[in-house]
Amino acid sequence: MTRATSRQAALTEAADDALFEQMATGDLAPLGELFDRYHASVRHFLLRLQVDAGEVDDLVQETFLTASRAAGAFTPGAPGRPFLFGVAAQLVRRRRRGFARLRRMLESLGRHPSAPSTSPADRTEADQRTAALYAAIAKLSDRHREVLIMAELGEMSGVEVASALGLPPGTVWRRLSEARAELARRLKGMQS
Amino acid sequence: MSTCPQSNLIEALHDGRLGPTEAASCERHLRTCPECAARQRHLAAVREAVRAPVDPPTPLAHQRARNALLRAAVAEPHAPPRHRRLALVAGVFFAASALAGVSLWRAGAPPAPLPELPAPPVAPSEAPKESRPVHAASNAPASAALPSSLPAPRVVAPPKPRRVASRPAVAPPTTAPASAPEAPPRASPASRDFAAAMDALAAGDFGVAATRFVDFTAKYPGDPRSDEAAYLVAITLQRAGQTENARTAAQRYLRDRPDGAHRTQAAKIAGAEDR
């Protein structure tokens, strides 16, 4: 309980829940460490949620800030990443609700390293398939996409996704299934 | 769409929802059923696409984002617990005495009475970055270090010698008036120096930034940011193209701070030919 002193050295090795526990008391010292651990993951997650590259850094920061404020809600013993993904997803939702939605998916498609922007003739068939896949993911509805990305990227079970997003598990399974079926449908359409 | 009765199990297998026996039988089925195999390939392709790496942030971008986060976190007025509140009060006090300290230093007096912050792990009472332009005094040694190509440093009027200079503030923070916590946080000397270094970094004046970070680590060895600063010395030197010096700085970082938060990155710089 009282790990107050000599924590700087222990910080680097501390478990995620210890960091959150410390932040829940208002001590923000572990925030930097948490950021170092997970900022790349969170950023990856946000980019896959079709967050614009120009906004992603703001949202990463907001995610960690919000997480530090909500640290009291962290489940002891849990890993930090699902919690952060949950916070990030909520922020994205809020943002999308607030602003009139501008569809930037084609633009963002061009930013994916694995989606080459050269002429179709240059691409291998595999590249084309990958590009088509990204395009299809971009066209999913937000609610389908967030579930899919969280499950696949976060290696989270449906129950974990559900608790991170505040949804019933059954809803998560259904959306996950729908999202995949939708992708399969779109890819099939592109092939023929 | 799907005709195979097993096809709905493929997704469960993919998500790890099947028990070992079920999973084994499902995998056997996959070898004989092209439809299910295609479905599994599709699921794997989606997973692979989602997990395909995105362009990672550079160490410098990471560092900037990290500092911006810590700054924002401290500036955030969310129910500060008692010790942070006190630190804030202390910060206000020290900020008031900062000018005094700086002008004293400028006047050639020994820099001894620079007040040190009580420093809880995260920097207390950071001022918002834009609220304080780079101070003339902290700019002087840095620009001397980098002779050429200084794009008109943002210098405010040099501090006039002040009467208060003779009285270094040592008032204990607890005697602060009750209203003080509501006052906007002012920068401590350490915060200001750190911000000045970060500004130089952001402006691309890597030579200047390196000098300031070195100064910072020397001046405030106990400050929670000195670890960042020591690491940023290596980063800025690297950005300045001084690979050899960057390596030395990284090696020094590793030697002085074997448990430093950036030891992994520093080790990379210390060992790298060039990056």
> What percent of chain A has a predicted confidence (pLDDT) above 70?
77
Contacts 24+ apart (CB under 8 A), B269-274: B269/B234, B269/B235, B269/B238, B270/B234, B272/B243, B272/B247, B273/B243, B274/B243
**Higher model confidence: residue A30 or residue A3?**
A30
**Stretch A114-121: mean pLDDT, rounded?**
48
- pLDDT (0 to 100) of residue B227: 84
Tell whether B244 is covered by a domain. yes
Asked whether residue A33 carries a pLDDT value surpassing 70, the answer given is yes
Q: From chain A, pick out residues whose CB is under 8 angstroms from the CB of B68.
A: 61
Going by pLDDT thresholds of 50, 70 and 90, the confidence category of residue B81 is very low
Which residues on chain B are in Cβ contact (under 8 Å) with A29?
120-122, 224
- Whether B36 has a pLDDT exceeding 60, the answer reads yes
Give the start-end residues of each E strand in A120-171.
Answer: none
All domains of chain A, ordered by start, with CATH? 10-101 (1.10.1740.10)
Nearest to B16 by CA among A74, A156, A41, A66: A156
In a domain, B2, yes or no: no
Which distant-in-sequence residues (6+ apart) come within 8 Å of A177 by Cβ? B11
pLDDT band at B273 (very low <50, low <70, confident <90, very high): very low
Chain A CB within 8 Å of residue B78 CB: yes
Range of the domain at B263: 59-271
Shared domain check, B172 and B107: yes
Q: Is the pLDDT of residue B85 over 80?
A: no
Pair B40, B70 in one domain: no
From chain B residues 144-203, the ones with a CB under 8 A of any chain A CB are none
In the three-class reduction of DSSP (H, G, I as helix; E, B as strand; rest coil), residue B136 is classed as: helix
Scanning A122-161 for CB atoms below 8 A from B yields: 129-130, 133-134, 137, 148-149, 151-153, 157-158
Question: What was the pLDDT predicted at A174?
Answer: 93
Q: Are residues B238 and B172 in the same domain?
A: yes
Q: pLDDT tens for residues B217-268?
A: 888 887 778 888 888 888 888 877 778 888 888 888 888 888 887 888 788 8
How many CB atoms are closer than 10 A to CB A162?
A: 19
**Global ipTM:** 0.77
Mean pLDDT of chain A: 80
Q: Check whether residue B33 and residue B109 sit in a common domain.
A: no
pLDDT of residue B134: 37
Instruction: Say whether both B21 and B117 belong to one domain.
Output: no
Give pLDDT tens digits for B209-230.
888 888 888 888 877 788 888 8
Asked if pLDDT for residue A94 goes beyond 80, the answer is: yes
The pLDDT of residue A64: 94
Q: pLDDT value at position B170?
A: 42
Which CATH number goes with the domain that contains B80?
1.25.40.10
B20 and B92 housed in the same domain: no
Residue B25 has pLDDT above 70, yes or no: yes
At A63 the pLDDT is: 94
Q: How many domains does chain B fold into?
A: 2
Decide if A35 and B66 are in contact by the 8 Å CB cutoff: yes
% of chain B at pLDDT higher than 70:
57
Q: Which of A26, A35, A158 comes nearest B69 by C-beta? A: A35
- Distance from C-alpha of A106 to C-alpha of A111, rounded to nearest angstrom: 9
Based on the domain organization, do B117 and B204 belong to the same domain? Answer: yes
Shortest distance, CA A87 to any CA of chain B (angstroms) = 16
Q: Is the dihedral of CA A72, A78, A81, A83 positive or negative?
A: negative
Testing the interface with B: which of A7, A11, A22, A31 to mutate, by most B Cβ within 10 A?
A31
Asked whether residue A21 carries a pLDDT value surpassing 80, the answer given is yes
pLDDT reported for residue B77: 58
Contact B66 A36 (CB under 8 A): yes
Shortest alpha-carbon distance between residue B156 and chain A (Å): 30
- For chain B, how many residues are written? 275
B99 and B129 share one domain: yes
B126-143 pLDDT, tens digit each: 434 343 333 333 333 333
Cβ distance A28 to B16 less than 8 Å, yes or no, reads no
Q: Are residues B171 and B71 in the same domain?
A: yes
Question: What residues have CB less than 8 Å from B59, skipping those under 6 apart?
Answer: B235, B265
Same domain, B110 and B27: no
Task: Note whether B46 and B138 are same-domain residues.
Answer: no
pLDDT tens digits for range B100-120: 444 444 444 444 443 443 433
The token pair at B84 is 């942070």
